[in-house]
Amino acid sequence: MSRIGLKPIPLAKNVKVQIGDQLAVEGPKGKLKVPIPEGVKVRQADGALLIERAGNQYAALHGLTRALAANAVKGVSEGFVRELDIVGIGYRADVKGRVATFSLGYSHPIEVLLPDGVEMKIDKQTHLVLSGADRQLLGQVAADIRALRPPEPYKNKGIRYTGEVLRKKVGKTGAGAK
């Protein structure tokens, strides 16, 4: 039995929901749509969304649909935030409108076009704060930015998530072959 799928999703007062082929959620932070798979039914009751399934063969889709719907409701009401840190001498970032420019030790600056629905703020040129309503899109943009220069294991230079714990490797010792 899906324990996640059975939990009701509380709706904030400023969130509007339309149930059809898709679940359309609208709030102060934006609009999102969640697909409703076959065998899963969504209904609204007592200021909450309830997800139900037709049979046990839809158990996996039941929990998935509930999780996606809960993320959509939280995203349009509160939003999501992902933070990244840039570590390394001379490594920095700058944002102008929808274009973020990174200097990461390569021979050229790297420009990243931010998709609609994702905002970026930069503190001290090395701390990035990404925010948006769509959790999947926000996580993908953060992963794409991190992939520009992932933290390397010897000096831990690169782009990392704030609070990410990295394992540092020991470098070479001086006693080599004679």
Mean per-residue pLDDT, 47-67: 87
Same fold: 3-77 with 80-161:
yes
pLDDT at 1 over 60: no
Beta bridge partners of 77: none
Q: Cα dihedral angle (130, 131, 133, 138), rounded to 10 degrees?
A: 10
Look at residue 155 in the predicted model and tell me its pLDDT: 86
pLDDT at 81 over 60: yes
How many Cβ atoms from other residues are within 10 Å of residue 1's Cβ?
7
Architecture, CATH, for domain 80-161: Alpha-Beta Complex (3.90)
Look at residue 176 in the predicted model and tell me its pLDDT: 57
Mean pLDDT of the chain: 87
pLDDT at 172 over 90: no
Provide the whole-model pTM. 0.84
Contact 124, 131 (CB under 8 A): no
Nearest partner of 87 among 125, 45, 56, judged by Cα:
125
Under DSSP, the state recorded for 27 is E
What superfamily does domain 3-77 belong to in CATH? Ribosomal protein L6 (3.90.930.12)
pLDDT at 17 over 60: yes
Torsions phi, psi for 63 (to 5 deg): -65, -40
Token look-up 């390397």 returns: 152
Look at residue 124 in the predicted model and tell me its pLDDT: 87
d(CA 42, CA 22) in angstroms, rounded, equals 10
Q: Please report, for the chain, the start and end positions of each structural domain, with discontinuous segments joined by +.
A: 3-77, 80-161
Look at residue 139 in the predicted model and tell me its pLDDT: 92
d(CA 91, CA 159) in angstroms, rounded, equals 9
Mean pLDDT check: name the lowest of 94-98, 148-152, 164-168.
Answer: 164-168
